[in-house]
Amino acid sequence: MVQLYNLHPFGSQQVVPCKLEPERFCGGGRDALFVAAGCKVEAFTVACQELCQPRCTFSTLGRVLRLAYSEAGDYLVAIEEKNKATFLRAYVNWRNKRTENSRVCIRMIGHNVEGPFSGAFRDQMYIVEMPLSEAPLCISCCPVKGDLLVGCTNKLVLFSLKYQMIDEEFSLLDFECSLVIHIDNITPVEISFCVGYVAVMSDLEVLILKLESGPKNGERVHHHPHKTNDQMRRTEEGFSNEISQLESDFVICQKPLELLGEKSEQSGLSVTLESTGLADEKRKYSHFQHLLYRRFTPDISSYALSDDIRLHSLQLLPIYQTGPLTSDGKSLSQEKELLSLFCFFSLPHVGYLYMVVKSIELMSVYQYPEKSQQAVLTPQFLHVITSNNLQCFTVRCSAAAAREEDPYMDTTLKACPPVSMDVCALRIQLFIGLKAICHFKNHIILLTKADPETIPERRGSPKRLLSRKDTSVKIKIPPVAEAGWNLYIVNTISPVQLYKEMIDYSNTYKTAKTQSCIHLLSEAHLLVRAALMDASQLEPGEKAELLEAFKESCGHLGDCYSRLDSQHSHLTLPYYKMSGLSMAEVLGRMDWTVEDGLQKYEKGLIFYINHSLYENLDEELSEELAAKVVQMFYVAEPKQVPHILCSPSMKNINPLTAMSYLRKLDTSGFSSVLLTLTKAAVALKMRDLDMHRNEMKSHSEMKLVCGFILEPRLLIQQKKGQIVPTELALYLKETQPGLLVASVLGLQKNNKIGVEEADSFFKVLCAKDEDTIPQLLVDFWEAQIVACLPDVLLQELFFKLTSQYIWRLSKRQPPDTKPLRTSEDLINACSHYGLIYPWVHVLISSDSLADKNYTEDLSKLQTLWWKKLLPELCQRIKRGGEKYQLYLSSLKETLSIVAVELELKDFMNVLPEDGTAAFFLPYLLYCSRKKSLT
């Protein structure tokens, strides 16, 4: 379905001052227009703010049948006819053509230019002639590399663009015939070529191939379809020959066919590559892929075949990824990288747009209200001409390219209107007698010509109704008839200007809450997105204006989806994110009017606010807005009220307001441990410690841990990427440290917090720097071992604990708080802590080790230290690193103490099996001699 909007994409209009009636014309680069008439080509300068001005005129060998311009190489190529023979010629350095009689150099393709003659080519236009064994029918220039593809009967010839170095300062543009593509049983009417992609169109068939380079080392590669395809083709040929011999009024037609990807090999067409020349490896194509074959059936309802059944306007449209832009709007890299590619072709009443890169699929079908004559595709629009109308349709190229460019599209981060969205006609502009159209930059070139019946001088003679294609009939046309044609330049308005008109138009749908508003805003969004993708065409300052319009369009789409209660309401979130609006700004855009005495909040807005509050945004809502958010969720999703109150963004809410809503939930039968913990946290903010204690006593410790797992932000929040303990966490550290440790352990076991985050939390909670380990963190590590976490964490935990025990023993540093578990608790609760060896009892019972904290650490240190982590400590000492000295001093201190207290046999059992003898020898000697010394 095609929707129709009466917008104004067409701006100013001017007439091209041609001297003769144009037969062929094309746009070039940023400012050039070429018009061929008879045996001459006129070049015009087309500027945005100025009138079209003649630039130069040059003669051709004969009447121009086809004309094309290549921005890469800045050359014009033409198929010309003279004396019933056709020629292929490229016009190079045409900008230096001063006058029509200026000297022109002509050279054959591939012929070297000797030094003395190089000056003739340096400062004047020259022509490169490219001979072919068969007559050229159609041409296409690659928009990226400038290579030239020529269509002949049953084959395509590729000429690679290259430069012939004359000296250090001057290189001569040249071509090389590098590849011949043989395609049996097809006569190309139009072709299109873009970085290896080839599209060929006959009257009723379209074939798309992708040429590829491979490790074939230049060998000739032939590709033939399956036998069944050959048999099918031979059968069809025989059948057609048989039909041609029958004297019958019936016409036998093949059925319509669409084959995508590898299936298109079953088309029955035989394709063969013939490599020629010495093209460089990067541009030498050795094999190909089939992408698309489509065959149409002529409409025979009128009992006669006519021109109405023919395809027209084949075009490959590339969209590039140009990389980051500098502050002046220019790309850092001049190399264009193909992001996506699209193919368009059309029947008289319907057009087809395919996406080609990565996957081949039909994107859009365009139904025309009248018979079309020609169409041109741009990144923003499809322009179609009928006999009396210029029509402008929207396209979905930017929507498809956006998904190719960004893997995060269509997530909670980013969104883009769908490719499947209905296309629409923005404008149908009246032009009498439209005959041809072309497009470049923001210019549409139109040729109009009055029909013969509308000119009085022509009505009397039936001969004047003959087709212009019949060149054998010479008809003198009165001079007055020449006024019947015109060549117009219609300038499309800037994307931002058209965007603003779309936004104004969308306001008529705003209060209706219909899909029409979203559709038009999506069109505006895609218009701006397409313009941003074509960064090379942007003027200075345009990019910033487009980016602002892009963000604004995202905001408008977010507003639309926030007002709708539909399956797509979740798109509110990514569009608001892309808009750059803060949560407060979004809430400020809402209409808070009450309908029928009830306030209703749609799913889209609730979804956005809920996710934004969960994402730990560094934005604090005002007291007024925070109260509005709580009221909103109490009406729409009351179960979420405890969660949203835990968000850092809700920090400024009045505790009395928060408590009133929590009590309403309580009285309405909404009772849970999460509600209890939230009320306890709010009570702390109210400085009501009795209420806090009563709430915390209403559930067991195990249930309270489950509550913290449901909402970790009751304990841990983030601000500007840093972990911040809540007021409740600080209070629990002083009053219920065991509950706090158990709760954080529960968060870790349920993947609500990572290992490093948990360690940082306890350090920040205890106001310790990075290198200081508080006892509460040691308690947490011990709790992790008791909880039997996966083995991948155990070795790291063992080492952390052992290092801390050793450090405190060596420094005689007591814990900063009372440990939650004694060594006996750990031994009874965890198999990793084994029974204490007798020699450890000897150390503990020593008079010099009477300190209780010291003996506890030593007891905990022994299935962790002696059996598992002493070898690990030795290994880490060997590896060196930042903590080498700490490990080494800890080991020396411990060995010194143990060597004094233990017998030699026990001491030897303590030492690891691997290690350097020279390091341990002094301790062994001391241990063996101590009795004699005493």
Q: Please state, in angstroms and rounded to a whole number, the distance separating the CA atoms of residues 894 and 920.
A: 12
Partners of 354 in the β-ladder: 343, 362
- Rounded CA gap, 382 and 675, in Å? 58
- Stretch among 24-38, 46-60, 430-444 having the lowest mean pLDDT: 46-60
pLDDT at residue 322, rounded to an integer: 58
Q: Which range has highest mean pLDDT (392-406, 886-900, 908-922)?
A: 392-406
Q: Residue 467, exposed/middle/buried by CB under 10 A (0-12, 13-18, 19+)?
A: exposed
What are the tokens at 589?
């855009």
- What number is the average pLDDT over the span 591-596? 66
Q: What is the pLDDT of residues 109-164, one digit of tens each?
A: 877 766 556 666 777 888 999 999 999 999 999 998 999 999 999 999 999 999 88
With bands split at pLDDT 50, 70 and 90, how would you rate the model's confidence at 795?
confident
Across the chain, what does the average pLDDT equal? 82
Q: Summarize the confidence of residues 794-822 as an average pLDDT.
A: 82
pLDDT digits (tens, 9 = 90+) for 838-892: 545 554 555 444 466 667 777 777 676 555 556 666 777 777 888 788 778 877 8
Task: For the chain, give the percent of residues with pLDDT over 90.
Answer: 50
Is the predicted pLDDT of residue 284 greater than 50, yes or no?
yes
- Give residue 604's Cα distance to chain centre: 24
Tokens of 285: 């194509």
- 514-543 b/e with 16+ CB inside 10 Å = b? eeebbbbbbbbbbbbbbbbbbbeebeeebb
pTM above 0.85, yes or no: no
* 34 pLDDT above the threshold of 50: yes
Q: What is the mean pLDDT of residues 279-286?
A: 68
Query: What digits encode the pLDDT tens for the residues 367-384?
Result: 998 999 999 999 999 999
Give the rounded percent of residues in the chain with a pLDDT score beyond 70: 81
Looking at residue 677, its amino acid is L
Count CB-CB contacts under 10 A for residue 492. Answer: 22
Give counts: helices (H), strands (E), the chain.
27, 34
Q: Supply φ then ψ for residue 85, to 5 degrees.
A: -115, 145
Q: Are 304 and 373 in contact (CB under 8 A)?
A: no
What's the rounded mean pLDDT across residues 87-113?
A: 85
Q: Which residue has the higher pLDDT, 134 or 2?
A: 134
Tell me the CA end-to-end span of the chain in Å, nearest whole number: 105
Between residues 59 and 564, which one has the greater pLDDT? 59
Residue 620's contacts (CB-CB under 8 Å, 6 or more residues apart) are 648, 649, 651, 652
**Token pair of 731 as six digits:** 């209070």
